[in-house]
A = this chain, B = another copy of it.
Amino acid sequence: MLLALTLAGVFVFGLSGGLAAVQARLDVFGVVVLAVVVGLAGGVARDVLIGVPPQAVRDWRYMAVAGGAGAVTFLAHPLLGRLQRPILILDAAGLALLSVTGARIALDHHVGAFEAVILGAITGIGGGVLRDILVREIPVVLREGLYAIPALLGATIAVVGGNTDWAIVGAVVCFAVRLAGIVFGLNAPRAGRERSSERSRVPEP
């Protein structure tokens, strides 16, 4: 069950990575590679931080699902593109699924509750960060108001609730809060009037 939810998260994150590659005009190999990287990055980061061999490298099903998401994107991207803001919606679904399953998997490795929440959020956030870095965007976790908060919220519900049912509740809550942020364009306040041209630099010689 946990595995099914995790692979679902890998798949939708893979779709978001594949779509980002399509929009960056990459070819079919680039689409598949970016789907794999985005689908698996968060889980690999979690396993490395826990100190266990990454499941995504050991178990071929992870790579197959993420690569499959890339192939699906390449074939079906006009369909996916008909979603409103397709990358953000798929990203939100991946965030929700991987934050809660990431937290549960962390608990299975006997880490503390605080750590499990943090590792769950890292699992959910990691893929999108890498996707945006690789196509040279500022990562969505930095650009968007409600992103890290719903990930931490979903992971907390999954950890405190204590079983897979609560993980599903956590995923629904995370997805709903994240969607609200997207739909209503909620953005938290920004600081000041500083301009990027004021950025401190050593003068050119």
Contact = CB atoms under 8 A, between A and B. Distances in A.
Interface of A: 21-31, 33-34, 44, 48-54, 57-58, 60, 63, 73-74, 77-78, 81, 84-89, 111-112, 114-115, 118-119, 129, 133-136, 138-139, 141-149, 181-182, 185, 187-192, 194-196, 198-203, 205
B191 A74 contact: yes
Contacts of A87: 199-200
B34 A142 contact: yes
A49 B60 contact: no
A88 B199 CA distance: 10
A190 B112 CA distance: 46
A119 B57 contact: yes
A53 B53 contact: no
A194 B77 contact: yes
B134 A22 contact: no
Residue picked from A84, A144, A201, A203, most chain B C-beta under 10 Å: A201
B28 A189 contact: yes
Contacts of A51: 51-53
A54 B112 CA distance: 13
A135 B134 contact: no
A19 B111 CA distance: 33
A63 B33 contact: no
Contacts of A111: 53, 58
Given A30-B144, A88-B201, 15 more contacts: A22-B192, A22-B194, A25-B196, A29-B144, A29-B146, A44-B49, A49-B54, A49-B57, A74-B191, A81-B192, A133-B134, A144-B202, A181-B202, A185-B203, A187-B202
Nearest to A200: B85
A143 B194 contact: no
17 contacts: A22-B194, A23-B196, A23-B198, A24-B138, A25-B190, A27-B145, A28-B189, A31-B191, A48-B48, A53-B111, A57-B118, A58-B111, A85-B202, A87-B200, A129-B134, A133-B134, A135-B138
